[in-house]
Structure 1
Amino acid sequence: MDKSLIASWFHRPLPFLLISFVFGLMVGEIHPVAEGFILVICILSLVILLIHILKRKRPTFFLPLIIFFFLGIQFINCALYPKFPSYHISKFIDKGKVGVIGTVTRPPLYLPDKMRLFVSVERIRLEGKFLEVTGLMALTIKEYEGCITLGERIGFTTKLQPIRNFNNPGGFDYRRYMASQGIWVRGYVRREEEIVCIGEGKVSPWLKGIEVFRTKIRMFLEGHLEFTTLGIYKALILGERSGIDKTTRNHFNRAGVGHILAISGLHIGIIAFISFYMLRRLFLLSERLTLRFNVFKLAALFSIGPVITYAFVSGMAVSTLRATIMILALYACIILPRQRDIYNTVALAAFIILIMSPASIFNISFQLSFASVFSIIYLTPLLISVSLKNEEDIPIKTPPDFQRRLLKFIMVSLVVSFAAILGTAPLVAYHFNRISIIGILANLVIVPLIGFLALPLGLLSVIIAPVSQALAMIPLNIGAVVLGISLSIIKFFSALPLASFRVATPTIPEIVLFYALVFLLFNIKRWGWTRYAIPIVILLGLFDQVYYYYRNHYNSHLKVVFIDVGQGNSTLIQFPRGKNMLIDGGGFPGSSFDIGERVVARFLWHQKIKNIDYLVLSHPHPDHLNGLPFIAENFKVREFWSNGESVDTEYYHRLMSIIQRKGITKPGLGELKDVRDINGAKIRVLYPPENFIKDKDIRTWRSLNNNSLVLKICLGNNCFLFPGDIESEAEEKLITLHPHLTATVLQAPHHGSGSSSSLEFLERVKPRMVVFPVGLPNRFPHGDVIRRYRGLGCEIYRTDRDGAITITTDGDRLTVQKFLDSG
């Protein structure tokens, strides 16, 4: 083994142990391992390690790594697959409506169209009996006034439901995210009036006091700021982002400064830096303090107070807690009288966080925070050494000339920004599918304006407000002006051509190859072997790209994916040789949750799809329509197909506006009637008839559902029928128009409602398989409909139980793959 690696191991062991621990967390999340096996391995490794120590031999390099690897597996097993007692709240899921009594133990979470309470449950009333229970649940309230606060003991009636995911490849694991916060159960009430406030619960008085202070800050900000600056200041100070409108959020994201809106290591670090700098300057004014104490360490010690205070005022979200631990670890590194190593310190902070919350390794903020810190401390010195000609030019020493000092400050800021963006780019692409080209320059301007001016001014105003609101308005108004200027600059950057662009989701091997290439390029002068390794990494990357291009563009199969969008419909059809069609985009009526952005697009990007040749809207109901505007906006769409029926809704108007602005072809219903051949696959629009809109006046059954666009797609001997939400009346009309409806696979009409899937229709279609696009909890599919399909011998698939369902055919054989395939 390389001697330099062994030397690094004994000089800074924590990074190596951290990597091993993280690897264990990732393996344990994929496949749980028996506790007994882990215990045996750890005991054997410890025994061997102790023998080495007793014999005064240098311990072997691998034994500690093995121990920490299996500890990682055990920690993640306990976090994600816990063994709850019989009285835990999760044991009473899906038992119908139950009465619940508990205490709000965390600050309420305000979302754009709802409020969420985190309730520590004490008792439930089930079937007339009161039962003592434990556990934390999330309660969502649709219509709220915000009267319920932290520490209140409340009672309500709800259905206890498990935390569920949209089960698609590449989907966000919401269940794992909630599990990392100790939440396994959710409930819902429509109105806040349905909740009874019983009194004060058992919550720490100082925690309650902090929430009271947060409420006063919120009221102060709401009383003195306009909407846009109010939303941003609430995000920066209180950690509440619900007041930021989607347009403003998009401007921040396109400019590459969206991270500023979420309190993280950047914000905590800025407060830590400002506190440290000001306290150090203050202490230096005292000759007595300077002579008696190490002012550097004293400033670090007293800076802990402002950092912790800001963390609590901002709501102490999980990401804020992680950032605070990291900063405190760095302060400890300064204060403690021992040799310091920055890598060991950062690794220690990561260890503390992962031991407290093992599932944090999968959290976006954790990954971005530590990736940016590691890349800054590793890449910045290398970049500066390349940029500066000799050691005297390193900008730690104060140059005599102001202009020279300013230029060096700008250069170092650019280098740090570049290092952070380079280190986090693959993770940003993986989680957000966006790369910002202008981000380096935008961060150079916006971070000082918002981070070092607007944020401190806002905090200063809320500190002064309890004493004098008139005085507090001075820094608040200045901060609002700074935010206004910042917003104007952000809008300018975001409007630039190619300011940012969407990318397909990189795979884990692709991310590893990227980091390997960066590491090798920055060490090309240090190790000679890197000159041979770099071409190998590049070739592997090219092979990876060729593989996915060939898979998507030279495949002779027809693949149909019924995407899990809950109670709604969205289906991807991949034709032979790379053409793509998306039928519907899912959606929830009356909800701000953009399923197109959060579910459908994530799935498409995971499949390396950026072009949709045919975007189809079967009919303009929210559960089919609302996800399509985001797809039309962020993917290259060639044609838009619909029956031409319009509705007066926000999502429909937005979709039509995007189609018109982007010049997307919109063929009429008459043009769609012709049979199309797409690389061997034949597609035909069977319904509705061209005169259906005129027919609506005389036929009362012609609803939006019964006017759904019906498509039939065939390759060889296998056909797929997509009837939208037609019901029995439209099924009868379809049979009249097209007596030969035989199809191998049928998407159940209207999600399997009792008013659809008539026996006559099914006997004409004669499906071998039926797919129900449904969500939980739901009344669909109807029991009689299920029995009808079973009576015909159909194979039954459901997106609520099977997740995304992929059916592939070469024209003869048919293969089915379920995302939640238990087999």
Structure 2
Amino acid sequence: AAAAMALGVGAQRMSVVQAPEFPPDHVARLTLPLRTALEGRIAAAPDRRDGRTVLLVAAEAVGRGTARRRASGLVRVGVRGRAPAWRYGDRLRVDTILRAPRNFESPGRFDYVGHLARRGVHVTAFVWNDETIERLPPSAAGLRDALEAWRSRLATTIDGAVAPPAGAVLQALVVGEEGGIDAGLRDAFSRAGVVHILSISGLHVGLVAGAAFALFRWLLTRSEWLVLAVDVERAAAVASLGPVVLYTALSGLGVATLRSAIMVVVAVLAGLCGRPVDVLRSLAVTATILALAWPGAPLEISFQLSFVSVLAIVVGTRRLGPARNARGWRARLRAAAVVSPAALLGTAPLTAFHFHQVSLVGLVANPIAVPIFGSIVVVLGLAGALVEPLAPAAAKALFRLAGLVLRPGIAIVRRLAAPPWAAVDVPIPTVGELALLYATLAGLVLLPRRGGRVLAAVALTGLLVDAGWWVRERSGPHLRATFLDVGQGDAGVLELPGGRVVVVDAGGFPGGDFDTGAAVVAPFLLTRKILRVDAVAITHAHPDHFGGVAYLLAHFHPREFWWSGVPGTGVEWQRLMAAVQASGARVRRLDTTAQLAPDVAVLHPPPDLGTPSINDSSLVLRVHSGRVGLLLTGDIEAAAEQRLLADPARLPSVVLKVPHHGSRTSSAPGFVSAVAPVVAVMSVGADNRYRLPTPEIERRYRARGTCVLRTDRCGAVTVETDGDRLAVDSMRGCRCPATAR
């Protein structure tokens, strides 16, 4: 009954996230996008990482002058750079564009919209320079302001006392501030399977609880009257909750920290009631409390990993560890030996689902890293935090000592993460496959009982059937092309008959740090169980087409790299060329004389191209299966279209990737007529600053009966053919009544 009630209340609470009811003055009710002035108060500690700062602003007003009006709701404001001047509680005004958050609607994508909604954020904005942000008079300070000021002061003290990267790691362990950890070091921790130690969790909270309990028990036993009057053990346990709550708030209220703190509270309450503490019951109660208090919490990656890891450790030690009544160093050693394998095995399906990577070296790394980062460093760091308000010099000394311990620990993690086999990229399982994997693990835990044997056998059979389906799907005779939603850019994946895979462009944001290869293209490939591609092609040297290619070269080991031979310029191009060289892929400069495969032809550029614009140097590829042809055109413009019209017999295609995102410089009437597409795919970003596609170009295609699908409205578009019929699908449900002619 309690479980049913919790599920009912949880479902009702989820409606707050899925279908929120906004007050009349909420910023989400504005007509977005909207260029306006935003006034508000910073409602959380600024998140500084990867060359940008995120300010969570509680809106107070929008507009200026007579257009100014009261507003409410949270706005996520991204700021280029570290914006060091801004702190929790500061009030500000900034001219910006308010937008509704949007996902890249491609298979395997991260649900950014849901992630923000679970935090009460439904509007975003971006500022190129924090100097354009105007500071407003402060409002009255409260307890949270004082706590955040302490956090900020500790982070500043650590930053001044301990050089990077050790200083950044120490900030993560003491105050939960992970923004200073660079991407390379974070990747090393992830590959080594120890990234969890960068988050404040059970070990840290347990140290605080244990130390506080010991201190209060010692203080209470100093008084003979108290020893006789009260139960010292229970009183010390209750008193220890104060430091636990303080540390939980100081560390930023992360999910793993909250889970640990609530479990401590549950254990203390059980002790006060004279009942034994059962870890699994405490875990279930904690999960229920968090799920009810924070709508949508079970959908958070940190929630899932935190609870599943603890569950795996408890189940693993009960199944494979020493007997409950066993004592001595052998029992403790056996229990410790089970912890790391149990946690890694229990969370492996989830890490594959969310991060498409599984660490192999984690079995060795965790027993080495956890004592360094989770015990010695945390004790020194927390001691420094405790004495900082009274003795800043002593705090600096303790932080420096913690930094000295961290340096060899970081070196060990980097060394363990260095081998190529330390972590392996794995396909992303579907939700059904995830259930089968956990059913298999559950069956193995229950062995040798009959129920365990049946469960394991059924789950393994399901996995084998699923694997057989994927082998058939991947090696079948069909041609499948997916045009991914990468914003204002291009990215396409060709799955050719026989299992061959070619990636044509991978999107990119010029001047930005968002990697579309890692965030959009790679997850799509892994949802299709593709771990290696035959070729990666860039149609031309513009970063909105090649920006994500470097990641694919490093992780999907293509045999060949195709391009037109016309180079780009700038740092991003140099980075791509370095990645090409490091990948070892065979580099092929393609023109119309190139011989690729019977079903793949190069229609442009010609070998005597001369010196065209970069757009007009684009590769044009035609792929066909039976009577169905697909024409991929890059960003060709009028001059290249005229060259193609010199041999119009090669152009007719059922599916056309519209040139240059639907710009008026392309898709001339003669070219559109020569191709005569049934389906035209326009790869464009929502509300893009170029205002593409041009309305007249879109009308030109629709006027001749072509089914036009735009990635900003339809998400990723997939076309599949057996050489006769054509099936069209999209992430947002757009359809075409299209068949081959």
Q: Same fold (TM over 0.5)?
A: yes
The one-letter amino acid of 1:488's match is A
**What per-residue deviation string (whole Å, max 9, x for no partner) do you get for residues 389-417 of structure 1?**
xx76x2xx3x4xxxxx2x54443222122
The one-letter amino acid of 2:619's match is L
Shift of 1:258: 1.2
Residues 93 and 162 of structure 1 are in contact (CA less than 8 Å); yes or no, is this contact kept in structure 2? no
List aligned pairs for 1:197-346, cutoff 5 A.
197-201=135-139, 205-276=142-213, 292-346=229-283
Residue 129 of structure 1 corresponds to: 67
Q: Does 1:600 align with 2:521?
A: yes
Give the Cα–Cα distance (whole angstroms) in 2 for the partners of residues 474 and 338 of structure 1.
43
Shift of 1:684: 1.0
> Counterpart of 1:713 in 2: which secondary structure?
strand
Shift of 1:266: 4.5
Q: Does 1:572 align with 2:484?
A: no
The one-letter amino acid of 1:92's match is L
Residue 535 of structure 2 corresponds to: 614
Residue 771 of structure 1, aligned match among 668, 681, 703: 681
The one-letter amino acid of 1:762's match is V
Shift of 1:584: 0.9
Residue 362 of structure 1, aligned match among 299, 303, 317: 299
Residue 55 of structure 1 corresponds to: none
Q: Does 1:191 align with 2:129?
A: yes
Residue 628 of structure 2 corresponds to: 718
**What per-residue deviation string (whole Å, max 9, x for no partner) do you get for residues 640-692 of structure 1?**
11123333544444443344334222223259722512xxxx11112222344
Give the Cα–Cα distance (whole angstroms) in 1 for the partners of residues 246 and 508 of structure 2.
41
Shift of 1:273: 4.1
Residue 739 of structure 2 corresponds to: none
Give the Cα–Cα distance (whole angstroms) in 1 for the partners of residues 6 and 422 of structure 2.
43
Give the Cα–Cα distance (whole angstroms) in 2 for the partners of residues 146 and 464 of structure 1.
25
> Counterpart of 2:559 in 1: which secondary structure?
strand
Pick closer, same or farther for the CA change 1:739–1:671 going to 2, 3 Å. Answer: closer
Residues 264 and 365 of structure 1 are in contact (CA less than 8 Å); yes or no, is this contact kept in structure 2? no
Residue 363 of structure 2, aligned match among 427, 440, 443: 440
Give the Cα–Cα distance (whole angstroms) in 2 for the partners of residues 557 and 753 of structure 1.
32
Residue 22 of structure 1 corresponds to: none
Residues 6 and 288 of structure 2 are in contact (CA less than 8 Å); yes or no, is this contact kept in structure 1? no
Give the Cα–Cα distance (whole angstroms) in 1 for the partners of residues 601 and 482 of structure 2.
19
Residue 452 of structure 1 corresponds to: 375
Give the Cα–Cα distance (whole angstroms) in 1 for the partners of residues 593 and 150 of structure 2.
62
Give the Cα–Cα distance (whole angstroms) in 1 for the partners of residues 268 and 510 of structure 2.
49
The one-letter amino acid of 1:633's match is A
Residue 74 of structure 1 corresponds to: 12
Shift of 1:502: 0.9
Residue 690 of structure 1 corresponds to: 607
Pick closer, same or farther for the CA change 1:516–1:646 going to 2, 3 Å. Answer: same
> Counterpart of 2:128 in 1: which secondary structure?
strand
Pick closer, same or farther for the CA change 1:319–1:346 going to 2, 3 Å. Answer: closer
Pick closer, same or farther for the CA change 1:414–1:122 going to 2, 3 Å. Answer: same
Shift of 1:773: 0.8
* Structure 1: runs of 5 or more not aligned: 1-12, 18-64, 400-404, 697-701
Pick closer, same or farther for the CA change 1:485–1:671 going to 2, 3 Å. Answer: farther
Shift of 1:227: 2.1
Pick closer, same or farther for the CA change 1:717–1:309 going to 2, 3 Å. Answer: same
Q: Does 1:380 align with 2:380?
A: no
Give the Cα–Cα distance (whole angstroms) in 2 for the partners of residues 454 and 751 of structure 1.
53
Q: Does 1:757 align with 2:667?
A: yes
Q: Does 1:783 align with 2:700?
A: no
Pick closer, same or farther for the CA change 1:213–1:611 going to 2, 3 Å. Answer: same
Residue 471 of structure 2 corresponds to: 549
List aligned pairs for 1:355-434, cutoff 5 A.
355-385=292-322, 394=326, 397=327, 399=328, 405=329, 408-434=331-357
> Counterpart of 1:334 in 2: which secondary structure?
helix
The one-letter amino acid of 2:651's match is L
List aligned pairs for 1:529-540, cutoff 5 A.
529-540=451-462
Shift of 1:785: 1.6
Residues 612 and 636 of structure 1 are in contact (CA less than 8 Å); yes or no, is this contact kept in structure 2? yes
Between 512-521 and 249-258, the greater mean CA deviation after superposition: 512-521
List aligned pairs for 1:573-722, cutoff 5 A.
573-669=494-590, 673-677=594-598, 682-692=599-609, 695-696=610-611, 702-722=612-632
Residues 159 and 187 of structure 1 are in contact (CA less than 8 Å); yes or no, is this contact kept in structure 2? yes
The one-letter amino acid of 1:538's match is L
Residue 658 of structure 2 corresponds to: 748
Pick closer, same or farther for the CA change 1:287–1:83 going to 2, 3 Å. Answer: same
Between 443-452 and 246-255, the greater mean CA deviation after superposition: 246-255
Give the Cα–Cα distance (whole angstroms) in 2 for the partners of residues 586 and 282 of structure 1.
63
Residue 498 of structure 1 corresponds to: 421
Residues 93 and 185 of structure 1 are in contact (CA less than 8 Å); yes or no, is this contact kept in structure 2? no
Residues 79 and 357 of structure 1 are in contact (CA less than 8 Å); yes or no, is this contact kept in structure 2? no
Residue 48 of structure 2, aligned match among 110, 118, 124: 110
Pick closer, same or farther for the CA change 1:787–1:478 going to 2, 3 Å. Answer: same
**What per-residue deviation string (whole Å, max 9, x for no partner) do you get for residues 668-724 of structure 1?**
3259722512xxxx11112222344xx22xxxxx22222121111111111111111
The one-letter amino acid of 2:713's match is R
The one-letter amino acid of 1:461's match is G
Percent of aligned pairs with the same residue? 33
> Counterpart of 1:119 in 2: which secondary structure?
strand
Q: Does 1:119 align with 2:57?
A: yes
Give the Cα–Cα distance (whole angstroms) in 2 for the partners of residues 577 and 277 of structure 1.
66
Pick closer, same or farther for the CA change 1:664–1:190 going to 2, 3 Å. Answer: same
Pick closer, same or farther for the CA change 1:68–1:206 going to 2, 3 Å. Answer: closer
Give the Cα–Cα distance (whole angstroms) in 2 for the partners of residues 271 and 595 of structure 1.
41
Pick closer, same or farther for the CA change 1:461–1:339 going to 2, 3 Å. Answer: closer
Shift of 1:816: 0.9
Shift of 1:577: 2.2
The one-letter amino acid of 1:788's match is R
Residue 117 of structure 2 corresponds to: 179
The one-letter amino acid of 2:728's match is V
Give the Cα–Cα distance (whole angstroms) in 2 for the partners of residues 287 and 356 of structure 1.
42
Between 164-173 and 299-308, the greater mean CA deviation after superposition: 299-308
> Counterpart of 1:227 in 2: which secondary structure?
coil
Residue 21 of structure 1 corresponds to: none
* Structure 2: runs of 5 or more not aligned: 736-741
Give the Cα–Cα distance (whole angstroms) in 1 for the partners of residues 442 and 495 of structure 2.
38
Give the Cα–Cα distance (whole angstroms) in 2 for the partners of residues 201 and 736 of structure 1.
70
Shift of 1:377: 2.1
Residue 36 of structure 1 corresponds to: none
Between 622-631 and 453-462, the greater mean CA deviation after superposition: 453-462
> Counterpart of 1:418 in 2: which secondary structure?
helix
The one-letter amino acid of 1:214's match is R
Give the Cα–Cα distance (whole angstroms) in 2 for the partners of residues 463 and 237 of structure 1.
11
**What per-residue deviation string (whole Å, max 9, x for no partner) do you get for residues 263-321 of structure 1?**
34444344334444565566667776655544443343232233222222223345544
How many equivalent pairs are there? 733
